[in-house]
A and B are shown apart, each in its own frame.
Chain A
């Protein structure tokens, strides 16, 4: 069976990661920022999977599960913070939260 070359999968992961990063940097709605973060996490997860498959190692999948767990925990905390933020400021615009500038 013809396997997908590792370069293709890594390029896909990079594109996903970059998209996520651009989302994080440009989005003003904090919910979208959080979603972009998820994309970045999954991109790195994809990279681990590809690596694991390429070298026939289990650690790649283990790392993916770790990332998945991490993402779940992070989303739980992040969404909690978003709710708090909305209560406090009546908005989800992240630029409003720039009170700590020097």
Chain B
């Protein structure tokens, strides 16, 4: 059965081909069956493979299919590599992916481009599966770029609105910066180790490189660049909030199952390289910490329901990076898994809210929707609890592990831990701000709304609710994968630290309740001071990162484009043309057409030559 692992990416790819080649001529029902079904079958196959693999007790399993390219000493094949890490990833991708597809069959029901939507979604999942299952970095890179392409296609799915196209381009271009860095990293790896097979690289690097050597630092920095781009971390995080332009199931897919988790996967997969460069590993933790705090503050000020969730994703991926940087590899992957559950849940519930309120996205126009949108209410309740790491929800266990891992880091440990706890505090405030504003208080602009969607949209919500609550009790078979890397000694942390990590989210929920639930406190008082207002604007605009990049990169580029509009490079060639024109005009003067002129020039020339002959 394990041999059938090639079915995993192939099924969604077939679904994509079928849907794209029929070009919308299929009936919607058939499209839904092909689109969601291909992922569903893929998930079943993944489940069976997972059970068989775990039962076999093997450390890893390699399935070689066929060679993609073989040039000289370089071989890259479509070979599948299955171990605990890719097992977890493929289950998340197909499982969560299937639920999102199922939800989308209802969400997109009225869209004229139903078939195109599902074809892109299928390709997205296929590319992501390729990414996590490939046994060499070339196949991983193929999936990596495929994911980038699909995100572009889907963010700009409603392309008739130019702003969506702009957001799609932004996502594509910004992640491209990271991809370029990663590609260079791959070249460097191949140049120094002569192979791109991941396991070979990890072994060879361990043998040949010294810890902290320049090569190790360079390679891991370049790979980190790629991961930072895909996972929307500082300094390349600006694309993710704008990616909200796509349909909501896309946001769920990008944030939960595919795309942004790719960077975390890449670092976890090549963790040996990062262990060779402790400096870069610390950098990962710092990047994660700064990103999670920045995104947390930004999420506090947003009013668009999807943008709040987007910034919370950036912040949660920041936690994963913090875990990776702290060397708590399996904690990071654990958080990736629990995050996939509750973030998919939150996004899908947000989609239901948005559709039920006729495409209203501003949370302050919602209000008091507890009774009218019961399923969304409970989805948001459980999703928010998990997101804020409420005790014994899934998020609690994973965030706990990450924070403890951060605490164990030498030197910076306390700072990382403090920042992470601060982030958890922010998370609980902005999450429950959203929750209280949407579902409590006075009814907003929309009265008497009916909750949108049938069983195909509610079913996934219920499954994800259960996942958000209980996924924390799951066991992930990651011990073998990260066996060398993990700090094995037991942390003896005091009960006080555990207590703080439990109390802080509750504190945040309490504050959110005072401000937005009971309205005992008012934000208007805070906002009265000009400093708070300026800070609010600053945070609202995502710490001015977009403005900064516009100043630094976009405007100079536009300036270059503008002065190049009249072809500054062509000026050289224009000059050449002008020169030959002038020459032509001068020489044409001699062509008078008078015979005597020609005779005179011949005679003069002759005299000249003879004179020369005599003189010299």
Binding site for B on A (CB under 8 A): 21, 24-26, 33, 94-95, 97-102
A28 CB to nearest chain B CB (Å):
9
A25-B599, A94-B594, A100-B591 are known; give 10 further A-B pairs, CB within 8 A.
A21-B603, A24-B596, A25-B600, A94-B596, A98-B593, A99-B593, A100-B593, A101-B591, A101-B594, A102-B588
- Residues of chain B in range 579-616 having any CB-CB distance to chain A below 8 Å: 587-596, 599-600, 603
Residues of B near A98 (CB, < 8 A) are 592-594
Q: CB-defined interface of B403-414 with A at 8 Å, one 1/0 digit per residue? A: 000000000000
Q: Give CA–CA (A80, B595) in the complex, Å.
A: 18
Contact check: which of B592, B593, B596 meets A26 at CB < 8 Å? B596
Interface centre among A24, A33, A101 (most CB of B within 10 A): A101
**Which residues of chain A have C-beta atoms less than 8 A from B603's C-beta?**
21, 25
Identify the closest chain A residue to B600 (Cβ).
A25
User: What's the least CB distance linking A19 to chain B, in Å?
Assistant: 13
CB pair B592 A101 closer than 8 Å? yes
B599→A97 contact, CB < 8 A: no
Least distance between B359 CB and chain A CB atoms (Å): 72
Q: Chain B: interface residue count, which band? A: 10 to 19
CA distance A95 to B595 in the complex (A): 8
| Distance, CA A21 to CA B594, complexed state (A) | 15
Q: In the complex, are the beta carbons of B600 and A95 less than 8 A apart?
A: no
- Give the CA-CA distance A35 to B222 in the complex, in Å: 89
Of all chain B residues, the one with the shortest Cβ separation from A95 is B594
Binding site for A on B (CB under 8 A): 587-596, 599-600, 603
Given A21-B603, A102-B588, are A97 and B596 also a contact pair (CB < 8 Å)?
A: no
Q: Which residue of chain B lies nearest to A25 when distances are taken between CB atoms in the complex? A: B596
Q: How many A-B pairs fall under 8 Å by CB?
A: 33
25 contacts between A and B (CB under 8 A): A21-B599, A21-B603, A24-B596, A24-B599, A25-B596, A25-B599, A25-B600, A25-B603, A26-B596, A94-B594, A94-B595, A94-B596, A95-B594, A97-B595, A98-B592, A100-B591, A101-B591, A101-B593, A101-B594, A102-B587, A102-B588, A102-B589, A102-B590, A102-B592, A102-B593
Q: How far is the CB of B42 from chain A (nearest CB, A)?
A: 77
Residue of A nearest to B589 (CB): A102
Inter-chain CA distance A89–B552, complex, in Å, is 75
Q: Which residues from B are CB-within-8-Å of A100?
A: 591, 593
Of the listed residues B589, B592, B596, B599, the one surrounded by the most CB atoms of chain A closer than 10 A to its CB is B596
| Cα(A94)–Cα(B598), bound, Å | 13
6 closest A-B pairs by beta carbon, nearest first, are A102-B591, A101-B593, A98-B593, A102-B588, A100-B593, A25-B596
Docked complex Cα distance between A99 and B591 (Å) = 10
Residues of B within 8 A of A26 (CB): 596
Within the complex, the shortest CB–CB distance from A27 to chain B, in Å, comes to 8
User: A100 vs B595: C-alpha distance in the bound complex, in angstroms?
Assistant: 10
Within the assembled complex, what's the spacing in Å between the Cα atoms of A25 and B599? 7
Per the bound structure, the CA–CA distance linking A99 and B594 in Å amounts to: 9
Contact of A97 among B588, B590, B591, B593 (CB under 8 A): B593
Determine the residue in chain A with the shortest Cβ distance to B585: A102
Measured between C-beta atoms, what is the minimum distance from B612 to chain A in Å? Answer: 19
A25 to B607, CA, bound (A): 15
A25 to B603, CA, bound (A): 10
| Residue on B nearest A102 in the bound complex, by CB | B591
Bound Cα distance from A5 to B373, whole angstroms? 132
The complex places the Cα of A26 from the Cα of B603 at a distance, in Å, of 13
Of A21, A24, A33, A102, which is in contact with the most chain B CB atoms at under 10 Å from its CB?
A102
A95 to B592, CA, bound (A): 10
Residues of A within 8 A of B600 (CB): 25
Q: How far is the CB of B83 from chain A (nearest CB, A)?
A: 81
Inside 8 A of A102's CB, which chain B residues have their CB? Answer: 587-593
Smallest CB gap from A98: residue in B:
B593
Nearest CB in chain A to that of B584: its residue: A102
Within the complex, the shortest CB–CB distance from A48 to chain B, in Å, comes to 17
Q: How far is the CB of A33 from chain B (nearest CB, A)?
A: 8
Q: Which residues of B contact A94 (CB under 8 A)?
A: 594-596
